[in-house]
Amino acid sequence: MKVDETINDVSIEDIDRLIHEPARLNIVLNLFELKKTDFVDLAQKTGLVKGNLSIHIKKLQQKGYVEVFKNYLNKVPRTIVNLTPKGRESIVRYKKTMELLLGPIR
């Protein structure tokens, strides 16, 4: 689906199932605003426990929507999660798809 398509050009199959899942949508929306953040802050912002967050981040990373970097701050390990340009494009496309599909509902 292209961003400038109309309702006639879009169907329910055009929804990005990867980010349509509520936990991953929550992650991507938070990263869209923050651009990047550390794993602990993202867990707090999303309300996801670390194990679930880790699994969802791996799925997003496999699709190229997020990047994960590991570093140290004062000898404490940190995991930084960053939304990629592909991830940004996917959320914009997802929003447009949902607007087109739900637009006729008033």
Asked whether residue 29 is domain-assigned, the answer is yes
Reported as type and span, the H/E element at residue 61 is helix 50-62
Instruction: Please give the model's pTM, rounded to 2 decimal places.
Output: 0.85
Residue 41: CATH number of its domain: 1.10.10.10
Asked whether residue 28 is domain-assigned, the answer is yes
pLDDT in tens, 41-71: 999 999 999 999 999 999 999 999 999 999 9
The one-letter amino acid code at 99 reads E
Q: Are 90 and 1 in contact (CB under 8 A)?
A: no
Asked whether residue 76 is domain-assigned, the answer is yes
Domain region containing 78: 7-100
Asked whether residue 50 is domain-assigned, the answer is yes
Asked whether residue 73 is domain-assigned, the answer is yes
Asked whether residue 95 is domain-assigned, the answer is yes
Strands (DSSP E) contained in the chain are: 36-38, 66-73, 76-83
